[in-house]
Amino acid sequence: MGGEVFRRLIFLPVTLFFVATLVFLALRALPGSSIELLGSQFTTAGLKEQLIADLGLDKSIWEQYGIFLGELVRFDLGRSFLTGKDVSSMVGETLPVTIELAVASLVVMTIAGIGMGLLAGAFPGTLADGLLRTVSVLLFSLPWFWFGIVLIIVFVLWLGWFPAFGRLPSSVDYEAVTNFVLIDAIILGRFDLVVPWLKHVTLPALTVGLTTSGVLMRLTRVGVIETAKTDYIRTARMKGVPGPRVFFRHILRNVALGILTVIGVQFGAMLGGSVIAEVVFGYPGIGRMTVDAVLNRDYAVAQGGAIVIAAFYVLINLATDLSYRWADPRLRRGGR
Amino acid sequence: MNTSITRRQFAALMGGTTVASTLSLPAFAQDGKTLVFALPGLVGNFEPHTWVGFGDTVHVMDTVARGLTHMDFDNPLPQPAVAESWTISDDGTVYDFTIRPGLTFHDDTPIDAAAVKRTFDRMFDETDPTRPDASFAADNLGGANVKGFDTPDDMTFRIMLNAPDAAILGRLTRPDMIIISPTALEQHGKEIGLNFVSCGPYKISSVTPNERAVLEAFDNFYGGKPAIERVVMQVIPEPVAQMTSLASGDLDVTNLIPHSNVDRLEAMPGIRIEQSAAFISLTLAMNVEVEALSNINVRRAVSLAVDRQAIIDEVFFGKAEMPGYITPAAEQGYAPEHMELSRSDTEAARALLEEAGAVGTELTLISENQGFWPRLGQVVERSLNEAGFVVTVEYLDTGTFNAQLFDKTAHELAFVQRSAFFPDPDGRFSPLYGSSTSAAQEITAQTSLPEQAELDARIAAANAESDPEARGRLYVELNTFMAEQMMPVAALVNTFLPVAVSDDIQGVNANALGTYRTFLENAAPAN
Amino acid sequence: MPTTRADQHRFRLPTLTGALRLLPWLVVGLLIFAAIAAPLIAPYDPIKNVGSPMLAPFSPGHPFGTDGFGRDQFSRILHGLGPMMFVSVGAVALAVAVGGAVGLISGVMGGWLDWMIMRAVDILMSFPLILAAILVLVALGASTFNLMLAVAISQIPIFARLTRALAAGEVVRDYVMAARASGFGMLHVMVSEVAPNILRPLLVQATSVVAVAALTAAALSYLGMGARPPEPDLGYMVKEGQELIFIAPEQTILPGLVIAIFVLAISFCGDQLNEREGG
């Protein structure tokens, strides 16, 4: 097991190298550069050339690639052409936002998915089961961006229960430390941040969490039904162990592994895939930053964003596999 | 709090349900001490000498910084700001600015001529270690036409020019011409944008990139301490969020709402739409080096074919006006007879095309794929095709659009927007149509027209004229000359950014906001 | 006794759930019919202003009202069905073809080639998919066909991995061993022996992925990177309509609802195929 982890950790830089190369080349293949955006009208002869030289875009593509890789191995993601800011600090600002949103969405997904799955699995073949299964497919079928807008119409416009955008109301003064609002609330002792933050994160988390809950619902449902058929549950029932206890002690424990995997996979997918929710709800996350950078040809930012998202994806998958092995006694004992 | 609930009830009614919640969020901005303003984005880098984005470089910059002169958009001429007065040498090449006494920057550094010179030196001296990469602010002051700066005495700052430039006082009102605290510049160097200190009506209290900048009223502002103590500049990039937060009372002032919603928002209790002058002009640039567009009669046909009324109705929902030619009616240099230069007449367009033997001419129009551009593209495509052109529109992302726009081999027709950072007539001409600009060389390629030499001469002569009235007349003639002799662009419409203001706030400079400039120092609680 | 209950079950279920199970197929059929017949059944030209006022409410003449250009919304939605199906089905077909071929080679050949291909797939999977699609669309320009290509490219690694797993499962079976033992080449083994046997499960999976592809395509259109206006595109209609939620919320709700119905029906169909395959 240690060997496997080691092999995959070794492979991480290789993956990142390829992702970095891919995005580097893809960006340069796109028409245009940020020069045109930077100075829309050049009235002095030679100014455009000066800007190009300032940004290092006069060097050959391989020279630029060499510089880029050289910086990358020193964990330097470079500087934004358009904003002059350090890409690392931009990632530091946007990544926590995306992780925060992904975690909140995972909470919604897990509660909704497991809740519906347990309920449906407990009464297989009934009307309730059919209904829940339909609902789970329905939720999956809703386009995120559209579902987000509908939630805004209903819960913001009509009911006024939630704010429509952002992470905190404008009345709150708050100087970010980690940029994770909840962690900052603890560090700074600012517990007044918690409720407003929850209100702001609810709609985006519902949008992403509910639409992704279907897989988990099915998995839980099938798991419950399958486990209920197994010998030891039957034995437990025959021994007279009360229903709910069997349910939670045995069934849930067996389903937990699959659930863990789904959560891990979804977490990885949400980091890159939450762009849409970030756009609809004005959440300043890393996905949005990266897409905007592509559209503005802000090479360093787009590269940095893609590399960081990919790194997290790989690490989360690794962590998922590890926790899977750790949680599954059969795998821990080296298989049975 | 009360207005907030009524607004929300109103919104609920419009939504087709009468459910108005009693659980609505408290409206924070209604205490008269805080003003919430919507930003399209916020990087958190207030470096004045590069372009970072509208949020940083204009909205926040205008609120926290100030330069020698100030354009209030009510007077056509620049007003005193950090400079209380100025004198101009007889030949129009030497400007002496007298610095207002007793002023300080937000960090208490006194403002004197040396402090002002420090900022301008940074702009022009390429060896200055504090100067940011890719800076082109010097260009916006006049570039090579600026001979140098001097400080004849402690409180006098001098700008010396090679040739007279009547627009220089206007140029100094640009957001990139503001004065930076020399102390802060010394301390932070290239990082000044992250630790920005100037002398505007508000000072920076805290900045959360991509989210908000919180600003506090500055006691020692030259115009006196602003009435509203706190300004929160909140990033709200999406129209849906902007409108819902306006309706819920979480937002007080914005210039980001789509034109389509102006009437509806105006009908909402607690919100008013401030009328602003149409400083933003939209044009259809024609690449004269493209074979089909090399004939001026075909270019005239394009201009005649554009259905401007349809643009006003369908793209701007009535919130735009018919153009003259280059200069909008709100600025010096416009004359009512210019309306005839941008007439819409499909039949006349078709007749011109038939005469030129150009019916069925295929043209490609490039447009951005966001904001109102796709709507504009659809109307222009439709109306040109009605007149006998065969137009296809390419809707491009920002990067591709700009790349193709500034490459005369990559486009035929293109949309160009021009707003007025300062309403000086020269700003409409020399940065776009002077032969040294990449706009004239690449967007319209008009530098290849024989009339360009005369245009250059006329632009230079108009800008050198120091008598305002005579200068205005020269720009009137310039519009007519360019339209009749060259027609490198077709004027589409002039418009403004609709400015929505909460009834709790008064005194917002709507004309400035209608063309992106953000002057909030005169805003005050309404009661 | 249990037998009678089971009999009752068998008697009751087919009629009720049977009808319900038919519903998604009917919906998909209806949508396909509407997409093909759109030019005939749409009351108006989807691109031309029909002389009606902008944002007209629902009426018999305009069952879904008119849009911000005075175009008939019902006709636009009908005409938007075809491109949606072309993009989602086309993208999956392309992804199955390319990903399938790569996965087949990987699974059958095994060894270092397999290892290389799978590591390449791992790397592509770690690349944010929507970003990959956006890069493709920016490079190629926005159009319905390019949208299809972009979505296909983002699905290829998924099908490569799936096919490889299926193929690797088949390779160790007796019939493949036999074929190889009788001296058939690798190409023959791949095309004639393995491929036919994994095609069914692959196509069943593909049906479900059509739903995902439709959602991805709609999201890209919503970001303004899909069809070129004024061509009707459901995702873009949601985007165009969203600023009107105060004035005409149906402008954004209706096109999104149609996307959801299509995806829902396709998902149910895919589920049923999956169940039959699995059971």
The domain spanning residue C170 has which CATH number? 1.10.3720.10
At A246, the pLDDT band (50, 70, 90 cuts) reads low
Tell me whether strands B146-153 and B156-161 are parallel, antiparallel or unpaired: antiparallel
ipTM of the complex: 0.85
Q: What integer is the mean pLDDT of C19-40?
A: 91
pLDDT in tens, B169-218: 999 999 999 999 999 999 999 899 999 999 999 999 989 888 889 999 99
pLDDT at residue C279 in the model: 47
Q: What integer is the mean pLDDT of C191-202?
A: 86
pLDDT of residue C5 exceeding 60, the answer is no
* Domain around A104: 94-286
What's the rounded Cα separation, in Å, for the pair A202 and B223? 44
Task: Write the DSSP string, A214-249.
Answer: HHHHHHHHHHHHHHHHSHHHHHHHHTT--HHHHIII
Is residue A145 in a domain? yes
Is residue C25 in a domain? no
pLDDT of residue B456 exceeding 90, the answer is yes
Of C126, C256, C259, the CB nearest to A313: C126
SS3 content of chain A, % helix, strand, coil (to 5): 75, 0, 25
Q: How many domains does chain C have?
A: 1
Q: What integer is the mean pLDDT of C99-106?
A: 93
Of B236, B240, B398, the CB nearest to A37: B398
Compute the half-sphere exposure of residue B205: CA atoms within 13 Å on the CB side of its CA. 17
Region of B201 please: left (phi>0), alpha (psi -120 to 50) or beta. Answer: alpha
Measure CA A175 to chain center: 24
Q: What integer is the mean pLDDT of B133-146?
A: 86
Q: How many domains does chain A have?
A: 1
B402 vs A175, which has greater pLDDT?
A: B402
Is residue A61 in a domain? no
Nearest CA in chain A to B14: A158
Task: Give the tokens for residue A320.
Answer: 């998922």
Q: What are phi and psi of B317, to 5 degrees?
A: 50, 40
pLDDT at residue C8 in the model: 42
SS3 content of chain B, % helix, strand, coil (to 5): 40, 20, 40
Q: What integer is the mean pLDDT of A190-196?
A: 87
Q: What integer is the mean pLDDT of B144-164?
A: 95
Which of the residues B22, B211, B366, B443 would you substitute to probe the A interface, choosing the one with the greatest number of A C-beta atoms within 10 Å? B211
HEC states along B228-263? Answer: CCEEEEEECCCHHHHHHHHHCCCCCEECCCCHHHHH
pLDDT at residue A336 in the model: 31
B14, C246: Cβ pair inside 8 Å?
A: yes
Q: Chain-wide mean pLDDT for chain B?
A: 89
Nearest CA in chain A to B236: A282
Is residue C143 in a domain? yes
pLDDT in tens, A218-227: 888 888 888 7
pLDDT at residue C6 in the model: 41
- Measure in Å the smallest separation between the Cα of A186 and chain C Cα atoms: 32
* Count of CB atoms situated within 10 Å of the CB of A74: 8
B395, C228: Cβ pair inside 8 Å?
A: yes
pLDDT at residue A43 in the model: 60
Of B238, B251, B400, the CB nearest to A32: B400
pLDDT at residue B23 in the model: 31
A82, B404: Cβ pair inside 8 Å?
A: no
pLDDT at residue B108 in the model: 96
Q: Which residues of B touch A294 (CB under 8 A)?
A: 399
Among residues of chain B, what percentage have pLDDT more than 90?
A: 70
pLDDT at residue A103 in the model: 93
At B30, the pLDDT band (50, 70, 90 cuts) reads very low
C2 vs B477, which has greater pLDDT?
A: B477
pLDDT of residue C11 exceeding 50, the answer is no
B419 vs B456, which has greater pLDDT?
A: B456
SS3 content of chain C, % helix, strand, coil (to 5): 75, 0, 20
pLDDT of residue C12 exceeding 60, the answer is no
Lowest mean pLDDT among A299-308, A309-318, B281-290: A309-318
Strands laid side by side in the B146-153 sheet:
B83-88, B94-99, B156-161, B146-153
Is residue C54 in a domain? no
Chain A: touching chains (3 or more CB pairs < 8 Å): B, C
Chain B stretch 190-229, residues whose beta carbon is closer than 8 A to a beta carbon of chain A: 193-194, 205-206, 208-212, 214
What's the rounded Cα separation, in Å, for the pair C179 and A233? 45
pLDDT at residue A231 in the model: 67
pLDDT at residue B473 in the model: 95
Distances (CA, A) of C101 to C105, C190, C200, C201: 6, 9, 15, 15
A32, B50: Cβ pair inside 8 Å?
A: no
Is residue A142 in a domain? yes
Domains delineated in chain B: 7-16+23-36+200-275+498-525 (3.40.190.10), 69-191 (3.90.76.10), 280-495 (3.10.105.10)
pLDDT at residue A333 in the model: 45
Q: Is B214 helix (H, G, I), strand (E, B) or coil?
A: strand
pLDDT at residue A2 in the model: 62
pLDDT at residue A41 in the model: 58
A282: contact with C, CB 8 A cutoff = no
Distances (CA, A) of B455 to B297, B435, B475: 19, 9, 11
Distances (CA, A) of A137 to A5, A214, B375, C82: 36, 6, 36, 23
Q: Which residues of C touch B8 (CB under 8 A)?
A: none
Is residue A201 in a domain? yes
Asked if residues A216 and A145 have their Cβ atoms less than 8 Å apart, the reply is no
Is residue C41 in a domain? no
pLDDT at residue A44 in the model: 64
Closest CA to C57 of C74, C80, C79: C74
Lowest mean pLDDT among A104-108, A141-145, A169-173: A169-173
Q: Chain-wide mean pLDDT for chain A?
A: 82
HEC states along C198-259? Answer: HHHHHHHHHHHHHHHHHHHHHHHHHCCCCCCCCCCCHHHHHHHHHCCCCCCCHHHHHHHHHH
For chain A, the first-to-last Cα distance in angstroms comes to 15
pLDDT at residue B109 in the model: 96
The domain spanning residue A125 has which CATH number? 1.10.3720.10
Task: Give the tokens for residue C101.
Answer: 């071929």
pLDDT at residue C15 in the model: 53
At A39, the pLDDT band (50, 70, 90 cuts) reads low
At C249, the pLDDT band (50, 70, 90 cuts) reads confident
Closest CA to B198 of B133, B254, B300, B118: B118
At A176, the pLDDT band (50, 70, 90 cuts) reads confident
Can you give the C-alpha Rg of chain A in angstroms?
24
pLDDT of residue B17 exceeding 80, the answer is no
Is residue C16 in a domain? no
Is residue C274 in a domain? yes
Of B21, B238, B404, the CB nearest to A165: B238
A141, C260: Cβ pair inside 8 Å?
A: yes
Spell B406-437 as b/e; 16+ CB within 10 A means b.
Answer: bbbebbbbbbbebbbbbbbbbbbbbbbbbbbb
Q: What are phi and psi of B212, to 5 degrees?
A: -160, 155
pLDDT of residue A136 exceeding 50, the answer is yes
* Count of CB atoms situated within 10 Å of the CB of B523: 22
Asked if residues C188 and A113 have their Cβ atoms less than 8 Å apart, the reply is no
Chain B: touching chains (3 or more CB pairs < 8 Å): A, C
Closest CA to B250 of A85, A164, A177, A262: A164
pLDDT at residue C74 in the model: 93
Lowest mean pLDDT among A135-139, A270-274, B278-282, C119-123: A270-274
C9 vs A131, which has greater pLDDT?
A: A131
Lowest mean pLDDT among A129-133, B151-155, B357-361, B372-376: A129-133
Of C138, C225, C246, the CB nearest to B243: C246
Q: Which residues of B touch C69 (CB under 8 A)?
A: 314, 375, 378-379
pLDDT at residue C179 in the model: 82
At B22, the pLDDT band (50, 70, 90 cuts) reads very low
- Measure in Å the smallest separation between the Cα of A292 and chain B Cα atoms: 9
At B20, the pLDDT band (50, 70, 90 cuts) reads very low
Is residue C80 in a domain? yes
Q: What integer is the mean pLDDT of B3-12?
A: 43
B51 vs A249, which has greater pLDDT?
A: B51
* Domain around C269: 70-278
B132 vs B204, which has greater pLDDT?
A: B204
A160, B24: Cβ pair inside 8 Å?
A: yes
pLDDT at residue C9 in the model: 42
Which of the residues B263, B397, B415 would you substitute to probe the C interface, choosing the one with the greatest number of C C-beta atoms within 10 Å? B397
- Measure in Å the smallest separation between the Cα of C68 and chain B Cα atoms: 7
At C2, the pLDDT band (50, 70, 90 cuts) reads very low
Q: What integer is the mean pLDDT of B214-242?
A: 91
At B11, the pLDDT band (50, 70, 90 cuts) reads very low
pLDDT at residue B151 in the model: 96
